[in-house]
Amino acid sequence: MKAGVLIVLAGAGAALSGCATTEFAETDFCNAQPGQLFVGQKADAEAGLAIRRATGADEVRWGPPRTPMTMEFKQGRVTVAYDDAMNITAVTCG
């Protein structure tokens, strides 16, 4: 009986993981060059979405002023730094 339950649970986990990878497939790609057009513009949600689309990144990481950032590098992430006036100061990948 226990073996049957484990097989069913293993099958359910495999089925769910298959759905997650197809629906939310990551590209692991970011090209910071198109994001340079946003330097000097206001840092807001609309700019974040536009930067994400322009760079091809899977996610946006915001870098507020005077905030430490982790050193981990993620190929599919764009990092957007901004100053106290909410102006974008840098757009980099990772």
Number of separate domains in the chain? 1
- The answer to the question of residue 10 being in a domain is no
- The answer to the question of residue 45 being in a domain is yes
Range of the domain at 79: 28-93
- How far CA 70 is from CA of 20, 27, 60, 94, in Å, comes to 26, 21, 14, 10
With beta carbons less than 8 A apart as the criterion, state whether 6 and 67 touch.
no
CATH number at residue 38: 3.30.10.10
- The answer to the question of residue 5 being in a domain is no
Give pTM, 2 decimals: 0.70
| Burial bucket for residue 30 (CB in 10 Å: 0-12, 13-18, 19+) | buried
pLDDT tens, position by position, 17-33: 343 333 445 567 999 99
pLDDT tens, position by position, 45-81: 999 999 999 999 999 999 999 999 988 999 999 999 9
- The answer to the question of residue 16 being in a domain is no
**Cα–Cα distance between 11 and 28 in angstroms, integer?**
28
